[in-house]
Structure 1
Amino acid sequence: MREIWGLLLLPNHPSEPFMPQRFSNMHSALKTVFGHDAFRPGQEEVIDAIMAGRNVLAVMPTGAGKSLCYQVPSLMLDGVSIIISPLVALMDNQVAALRANGIAVSCLHSGQDRARNVEEWKRVARGEVSMLYMSPERLMTPRMLLAMEQINPPLFVVDEAHCVSKWGPAFRPEYGMLSGLKAKFPDARIAAFTATADAGTRTDIAAQLFGGKGDVIVQGFDRPNLSLTVKPKINRSSQLLDFMKDRQGESGIVYALSRKSTEEHTRTLVAAGYTALAYHAGMSAEQRFENQERFIAEDGIVMVATIAFGMGIDKPDIRFVFHVNLPSSPEAYYQEIGRAGRDGQPADTVLLYGLDDIRMRRQFITQEDSDADHQLREHKRLDALLGYCEASTCRRQVLMAYFGEDLPPCGQCDVCENPPERIDATDAAIAFMRAAQDTGERFGANHVIAVARGADTDKIRQFGHDQLPSHGTGQRWGDPFFKSLVRQAIATGYLSVDMERYGRIVVNAPGQALVAGQGAFLMTEPKAPQTSKTRKRKVAPELMGEADHDLLVTLKSLRRDMAREMGKPAYIIFSDATLIDMAQKRPKNRGQMLGVSGVGETKFERFGTVFLEAIN
């Protein structure tokens, strides 16, 4: 059975000559190949720029359909377009999806044996494909660049283009080599795509890839269907379980910082009755693939993962993303929460963080093999994320302002829904900062808090800190209050964490001025932990009648079985959005099935009859 479906999916296997179909009209390509009647907002502007022969950097939110922006032009341009992608799994999934739509496409990467790569390249050289997917390190070898000169590509596409810039948080040296591409192929267009790049990073990407001579198209960053919540860490497991109440049957991602933490939170969820799977680099490739495929194909699965998971995942109905640890930067955070709610329906995001997160993140930055300038930029990015976490105004405003976007208050983040009170905490702040200074700014936050509160510990007695004038000056404030104060003081620049000296607390100039009696320290009053509320959702299947919903379940089951037989991701057959439209329209024949969003002519030829039979 697997072989039968495999042939249906891959009629343009290397052993079978298959000349690419060319289109003169973008709307014709969109409907015939991809089965859509209209482009999403912003897509046509990018395609028009590429077709006009201009270089383009397009910054588009996750789920905005950036792939179509270069796939459609590749079907209209003469020659083979080169798609530069960072991950083998991402390449394989995109190639399989394109072939399922009847597009002649090839792929070169280390996951294929040499014979397969040679055969794929022969197809490229014969002009039998519209697109060739490959990694930057494979492309930028002298031998491959010489071969590229023979085929003269009309378009180079740089996916995940934020990896190009040294100003960005995800710079990859092999992506940096792409800066020589334009000089080598001056007549080719270069189109770069990313979902996360601030103004400085955008300018650097455009300068690196095409000398700044091209269009920078920013489609906006806001995802208004995502709710934003940040909570101080109290007990990560119990806070996660509290959030998961009433979310049984929903698909979501829980991001953890380490492999150990990933496994622990997976066990916690499973013990509580949820279907949870783990995903981290310590697992075998086969186990990771199996878990990923279950997550994509089945409903109600929670994936507990490190940041190794998520890129290229095409699952539109992810209803939540929960961070049990602080991400590395606003860019990383935005990219990770952007995997929720890609169907446009409401989705929740929650971030937990504590002083230990700040310490670990600072430590990661100082321990990485990078120059001082890069580390300084990473510290500033972390500072920006801490500012977001401690925001006393609309979180969406704070996050979007980081990316250069000005928005009114959203009304649906935790700050908008429950505005915090600001209190004068000058006396408490001075008590802590004097304790830090009296101890020589040589200790971490927990010890300094203990000194300020007048604790009697072995460590305090060992160093004689019980004899300091600041010992006990902050005894009227509790430990949770001080921890919140320290987080907010770090976020606002009064304090800093010196990881080169084992996470010691340093009193910065604003803090020194405060201790000297200049100014006041206002902070958000810490609140008692509240039970998480499940936001009201209007997810598409819930708007369907009972009969349509039953049909949708049947169609999903059929899709899952077919995908398993093929050994391919389920969405390659039809997306959830297509199945929902199919269940509601209930097509009875070929013409009606081609009217379903996402059903192109090739998809119908391969899968349409089977789904028509299920519907009828």
Structure 2
Amino acid sequence: MPDPQQLLHTLKEYFGYDSFRPLQEKIIDSVFSGNDNLVIMPTGGGKSICFQLPALLLPGVTLVISPLIALMKDQVDGLLANGIQAAFINSSQTENEQQDIYTKISSKEIKLLYIAPESLSFLDAVLSQIEVSLIAIDEAHCISSWGHDFRPAYTQLGYLKNRFPKTPVIALTATADKATRQDICNQLNIIDAKQHLASFDRANLSLEVRPGNKRIEQIIDFLKDKPNDCGIIYCLSRKTTEMLVEKLKSQGFNAEAYHAGIDHHKRSQVQEGFINDTVQIVCATVAFGMGIDKSNVRWVIHYNLPKNIEGYYQEIGRAGRDGLPSSTLLFHSYADVVQLQKFANTSGNQEVQLAKLDRMKQYADSLSCRRKILLSYFGELIEEDCGNCDVCKNPPLFIDGTIIAQKALSTVARIKEQEPMGTVIDILRGAQNTTTLDKGYQNVKTYGIGKDIAWKDWQQYIIQLINQGYLEIAFHQNNKLKLTTLSKKILFDSEKISLAHLQEFEKIKQANIEQIDKGVAPTLFEKLRQLRLELAKEADIPAYQIFSDATLKEMEKFRPMSDAEFMQISGVGRKKMQNYGYQFIKTIIDFSAEKTKKKRKSNTNKGNTHKETLILYQQGLSIEEIAAQRKLAESTIFAHIMKLYDSGENIDLKQFVTIEDINSVKKAKIELDNPDTLKSYFEYFEQALDYNTIKLALTVLEKEAS
């Protein structure tokens, strides 16, 4: 174990610093004590020194696993410039170049060897002949499917601890939530690793979110007062980066594109130009910037919504690494969400990725201090608002939310933190669905205590509690809500809490949706509005409590025709989908069918989705089997069946509703003396039967009566 003076001398000599940053010395001491370590330190926090400095003082070679060629080259170049013998092995080298490096390793001329996980097998013989004093796993979140940048090649790295059981392993990443941290340790076989969490607070970064309409005009306006500052614009697609570069160049800006479709030589030129300040602006896909130690990036813009908070935080962290004030700007739109949902649906961990995307969307829509949200996401709780984000600079109207918070937090506590948000809301509202009744939640003391607040409003209040750090989502435990250390202040210490007035949230939602309203004929909107009015009269509730105008506008724009599509519409929750989905989807399908009636006459078989369903039904397939064969949601097939029945096709509706439910509705009809609204039945059954089942049973009874 080197003494403190030797460590400081090495730090100054090779890295130029007179003192360690927070946690660095503690981590280095732990390495020399032979411990395994997990280091979570934000971008620019000084992670690299935690393994680079020990490498200089340890007797053998430090093996560094790194995911990108660009990252390896940048770090090795920096080490060589500091007089530290380092090298990397990757696919860009010739066999002779690699052999030269192997020779230097054998002769102990190299202290740090960087290698991609895919290339580890090539080192097998060399590793048997040398002393490996330390193993560093950089960007360690890549090993976890819970993380935001999963790379299958990382999953083989667990064998390193088995092969070198006495060699300490240090895993490092800038972003990892609780689930990812645990997964990293498990997969690397470093279960007893010392965990070091640095503060995630980058107070010098201003945080701003805007709706994604007229983005290019907004970006050009944003850059006008930053003529000499360099920055990065992150985009979702390669095409967008190139389009944006063209627009910026036409305005006189020095901008270049960076993405995987550009040849390696050109990408290297762009990267070097950015590092050397000969390129001012890089419009890039997310791969750009990882591991690049450029301290004077003054701003970062996200042209599209990122897929999760981890990636977003890592990317904005590339601004202001020198500690000087720097700006971040995030644009978002509903179209971004739809595109990212498609990506998530093809991922290996679909449910988690969709939940994390939802959390990212909640951040963008938030009415709470944005820095609070980011820090609480990573387990760092602060009580004061930051004053350096758009929400703090333009605060919304607030209400006293203490009682609301106490009800929600108490419910989470009483069910022992075992349920996700939807079930917590159902308990608060006294729902009598299968989940609440089967688990005995009707006996929880807070059951029904919040029935005066609408489901959607509870959802927004709980999101605010999460955003402010009073609750957290356990993504690795099916999105269960968990209490935090701040929760008890509300529950037991009489602390007050302010929550944003939900009218403010509706204003933001409307602003975000304005961009997709243009150019759409109002016909479908009017039909949807008329349907909403009819349903509102039936249920004896205000129309806006069913769906807002903004939600209807999104339906008009995107024309959802399946459960999955309908759930993607902003303002549609699970409960409303169950209660109203069939009617709205049917209206949209009918409208689309009416619009294409002439075309169908000339080509009746082409695209006649109901007829296709009818043919399969006549072959004896069930709803589930038809949905699977046609790759549509079961509710969509159900809507087809009802339409076919209404049009006079020979459909036996009794296949789709149980005799028990029919008899129950029949009994209710007698006892209620032929009520004229579905709401009467719904209340009679205390929500045990949904609207669609009731309507189906009534249709069967009506046919029998005739």
Q: Deviations over 1:478-534 (max 9, x none)?
A: x997169979xxxxxxx9996578956794345469989xxxxxxxxxxxxxxxxxx
The within-5 A match list for 1:27-38 is: 27-38=8-19
Q: Deviations over 1:362-393 (max 9, x none)?
A: 0111134x2xxx11010111111111111111
- Secondary structure of 2:188's counterpart equals helix
Contact 2:298-2:325 at 8 Å conserved across structures? yes
Residue 361 of structure 1: CA displacement? 0.6
Query: Counterparts of 1:45 and 1:191 in 2: how far apart (Å)?
Result: 13
User: Which residue of 1 is the match for residue 523 of structure 2?
Assistant: 456
User: Which residue of 2 is the match for residue 395 of structure 1?
Assistant: 370
Task: Indicate yes or no: 2:334 matched with 1:355.
Answer: yes
Task: Indicate yes or no: 2:219 matched with 1:219.
Answer: no
User: Which residue of 2 is the match for residue 490 of structure 1?
Assistant: none
- Secondary structure of 2:128's counterpart equals helix
Residue 152 of structure 1: CA displacement? 3.0
Query: Counterparts of 1:199 and 1:291 in 2: how far apart (Å)?
Result: 36
Give the aligned residue type for 1:397. Answer: K
Greater mean alpha carbon deviation, residues 70-79 or residues 500-509: 500-509
Query: Counterparts of 1:195 and 1:399 in 2: how far apart (Å)?
Result: 13
| 361, 372, 378: which one aligns with 2:353 | 378
| 198, 220, 229: which one aligns with 1:250 | 229
Task: Indicate yes or no: 2:577 matched with 1:508.
Answer: no
Contact 1:266-1:278 at 8 Å conserved across structures? yes
| 145, 148, 160: which one aligns with 1:181 | 160
CA separation of 1:385/1:467 partners in 2, compared to 1, >3 Å: closer, same or farther? closer
Query: Counterparts of 1:316 and 1:502 in 2: how far apart (Å)?
Result: 42
Give the aligned residue type for 2:274. Answer: F
User: Which residue of 2 is the match for residue 573 of structure 1?
Assistant: none
- Unpaired segments ≥5 residues, structure 2: 400-451, 458-511, 537-541, 582-706
Query: Counterparts of 1:336 and 1:402 in 2: how far apart (Å)?
Result: 16
Query: Counterparts of 1:425 and 1:40 in 2: how far apart (Å)?
Result: 48
| 550, 569, 587: which one aligns with 1:482 | 550
- Secondary structure of 2:87's counterpart equals strand
Greater RCO (CA < 8 Å, at least 6 residues apart) = 1
Give the aligned residue type for 1:119. Answer: D
User: Which residue of 2 is the match for residue 198 of structure 1?
Assistant: 177
CA separation of 1:498/1:89 partners in 2, compared to 1, >3 Å: closer, same or farther? farther
- Secondary structure of 1:328's counterpart equals coil
Contact 1:496-1:505 at 8 Å conserved across structures? no
The within-5 A match list for 1:374-453 is: 374-407=349-382, 408-421=384-397
Query: Counterparts of 1:58 and 1:41 in 2: how far apart (Å)?
Result: 12
CA separation of 1:232/1:314 partners in 2, compared to 1, >3 Å: closer, same or farther? same
- Secondary structure of 1:145's counterpart equals helix
Contact 1:230-1:414 at 8 Å conserved across structures? yes
Larger Rg: 2
CA separation of 1:467/1:215 partners in 2, compared to 1, >3 Å: closer, same or farther? closer
Give the aligned residue type for 2:550. Answer: F
Task: Indicate yes or no: 2:27 matched with 1:52.
Answer: no
Query: Counterparts of 2:10 and 2:328 in 1: how far apart (Å)?
Result: 36
Give the aligned residue type for 2:393. Answer: E
| 275, 278, 281: which one aligns with 1:302 | 281
Query: Counterparts of 2:552 and 2:203 in 1: how far apart (Å)?
Result: 29
Residue 89 of structure 1: CA displacement? 1.8
Residue 58 of structure 1: CA displacement? 0.5
User: Which residue of 2 is the match for residue 440 of structure 1?
Assistant: none
Query: Counterparts of 1:67 and 1:333 in 2: how far apart (Å)?
Result: 21
- Secondary structure of 2:129's counterpart equals helix
CA separation of 1:454/1:501 partners in 2, compared to 1, >3 Å: closer, same or farther? closer
Contact 1:296-1:315 at 8 Å conserved across structures? yes
Q: Deviations over 1:109-136 (max 9, x none)?
A: 1111001101101111122211111111
Query: Counterparts of 2:563 and 2:54 in 1: how far apart (Å)?
Result: 50
User: Which residue of 1 is the match for residue 658 of structure 2?
Assistant: none
Task: Indicate yes or no: 2:414 matched with 1:346.
Answer: no
The within-5 A match list for 1:563-574 is: none
Q: Deviations over 1:411-456 (max 9, x none)?
A: 1110011012479998999xxxxxxxxxxxxxxx999x98xx9921
User: Which residue of 2 is the match for residue 130 of structure 1?
Assistant: 111
Query: Counterparts of 2:148 and 2:554 in 1: how far apart (Å)?
Result: 26
Residue 235 of structure 1: CA displacement? 1.5
Residue 108 of structure 1: CA displacement? 1.3
Percent identity reads 40
Query: Counterparts of 1:471 and 1:273 in 2: how far apart (Å)?
Result: 56
Task: Indicate yes or no: 2:66 matched with 1:85.
Answer: yes
Query: Counterparts of 1:496 and 1:332 in 2: how far apart (Å)?
Result: 32
Greater mean alpha carbon deviation, residues 242-251 or residues 355-364: 242-251
Greater mean alpha carbon deviation, residues 247-256 or residues 69-78: 247-256
Residue 208 of structure 1: CA displacement? 1.7
Query: Counterparts of 2:562 and 2:42 in 1: how far apart (Å)?
Result: 33
Contact 1:163-1:175 at 8 Å conserved across structures? yes
- Secondary structure of 1:47's counterpart equals helix
Residue 67 of structure 1: CA displacement? 1.0
Question: Which has a greater percent of helix?
Answer: 2
- Secondary structure of 2:88's counterpart equals strand
Contact 1:317-1:340 at 8 Å conserved across structures? yes
Contact 2:67-2:116 at 8 Å conserved across structures? yes
- Secondary structure of 1:252's counterpart equals strand
Contact 1:57-1:214 at 8 Å conserved across structures? yes
Residue 149 of structure 1: CA displacement? 2.8
Q: Deviations over 1:23-57 (max 9, x none)?
A: 99211211222222212222111111101111001
CA separation of 1:418/1:384 partners in 2, compared to 1, >3 Å: closer, same or farther? same
Contact 1:279-1:303 at 8 Å conserved across structures? yes
Query: Counterparts of 1:466 and 1:214 in 2: how far apart (Å)?
Result: 58
Residue 107 of structure 1: CA displacement? 1.8
Give the aligned residue type for 1:160. Answer: E
Contact 2:256-2:279 at 8 Å conserved across structures? no
- Secondary structure of 1:409's counterpart equals coil
Query: Counterparts of 1:164 and 1:240 in 2: how far apart (Å)?
Result: 35
- Unpaired segments ≥5 residues, structure 1: 1-22, 430-444, 488-494, 517-616
- Secondary structure of 1:157's counterpart equals strand
User: Which residue of 2 is the match for residue 154 of structure 1?
Assistant: 133
Tell me the TM-score normalized by structure 2. Answer: 0.60
CA separation of 1:62/1:203 partners in 2, compared to 1, >3 Å: closer, same or farther? same
Give the aligned residue type for 2:114. Answer: Y
User: Which residue of 2 is the match for residue 118 of structure 1?
Assistant: 99
Q: Deviations over 1:204-241 (max 9, x none)?
A: 11122234112010012111111111111221111212
Query: Counterparts of 1:496 and 1:193 in 2: how far apart (Å)?
Result: 45
- Secondary structure of 1:54's counterpart equals coil
- Secondary structure of 1:151's counterpart equals coil
Query: Counterparts of 2:19 and 2:569 in 1: how far apart (Å)?
Result: 57
Q: Work out the number of aligned pairs and report it.
A: 459
Contact 2:138-2:173 at 8 Å conserved across structures? yes
User: Which residue of 2 is the match for residue 544 of structure 1?
Assistant: none
Query: Counterparts of 1:498 and 1:276 in 2: how far apart (Å)?
Result: 43
User: Which residue of 2 is the match for residue 75 of structure 1?
Assistant: 56
CA separation of 1:197/1:465 partners in 2, compared to 1, >3 Å: closer, same or farther? closer
CA separation of 1:496/1:205 partners in 2, compared to 1, >3 Å: closer, same or farther? farther
Query: Counterparts of 1:78 and 1:295 in 2: how far apart (Å)?
Result: 37
Query: Counterparts of 2:389 and 2:252 in 1: how far apart (Å)?
Result: 29
| 245, 265, 279: which one aligns with 1:286 | 265
Task: Indicate yes or no: 2:75 matched with 1:102.
Answer: no
Residue 106 of structure 1: CA displacement? 2.4
- Secondary structure of 1:230's counterpart equals strand
Query: Counterparts of 2:183 and 2:331 in 1: how far apart (Å)?
Result: 32
User: Which residue of 2 is the match for residue 11 of structure 1?
Assistant: none
Query: Counterparts of 1:276 and 1:503 in 2: how far apart (Å)?
Result: 35
Query: Counterparts of 2:389 and 2:569 in 1: how far apart (Å)?
Result: 33
CA separation of 1:116/1:486 partners in 2, compared to 1, >3 Å: closer, same or farther? same
Query: Counterparts of 1:485 and 1:336 in 2: how far apart (Å)?
Result: 33
Backbone CA RMSD of aligned residues: 3.7
Query: Counterparts of 1:337 and 1:180 in 2: how far apart (Å)?
Result: 34
